[in-house]
Amino acid sequence: MIKRSVIVSVVALVVIQFFHPAKNENGVMTDKDITRAYHVPDDVRKVLRRACYDCHSNSTVYPWYSKIQPVDWWLNDHVKEGKRHLNFSEFDTYSVKRKAKKLTEVAGTITDNEMPLSSYTVVHKDAILTDAEKTLVVNWARGLAAQVADTVKKL
């Protein structure tokens, strides 16, 4: 009975290797990207790309283990969830009110050490933000949120 269960499990693991979700690898930066729609200083842009864009843009850089199922499905769900909350590649499609809210949330999640997720930084050590990087991104996000909110007030 155990032998049969092991065989069935191995066969199932082999079969699922042939089924992969579509990759989040657009690679084309459109005018809707936050870095095209708003001023993003180079140092902030580098931090966003290194620590945020894999889950919060249309351009994920996949690690080698993403080719293994069921890890690929888990990563795909994780990226979809991240983009559902915030997608820097589509940022300029958001309403002005939503943009201000999302930027405020960026500052809050970084301040509260909620982002980047620890499950991500365990493998992506370069995504761990220094205190200086946190301050840099938080100050930029708060400043841009205020600028965007002023636009709402003028409307």
Q: Which has the closest alpha carbon to 39: 86, 83, 92, 87?
A: 92
Coil, helix or strand at residue 2: helix
CB-count exposure of residue 10 (10 Å: 0-12, 13-18, 19+) = exposed
User: Model confidence over 109-134: pLDDT tens digits?
Assistant: 999 999 999 988 988 999 999 999 99
Q: Which residue's entry shows tokens 């293994």? A: 68
Q: Read off the pLDDT of each residue in 41-49 and give the average, rounded to a whole number.
A: 97
Q: Write phi, then psi, for 146 (nearest 5 degrees).
A: -65, -40
Coil, helix or strand at residue 25: strand
Cross-strand pairs, 25: 59
Q: Do the beta carbons of residue 15 and residue 21 sit within 8 Å?
A: no
Alpha-carbon gap, residue 148 to 155, rounded angstroms: 11
What pLDDT is attached to residue 6?
72
Q: Which residue ranges make up each domain of the chain?
A: 21-154
Q: How many CB atoms lie within 10 A of CB 32?
A: 16
Q: Specify the pTM.
A: 0.81
What pLDDT is attached to residue 11?
66
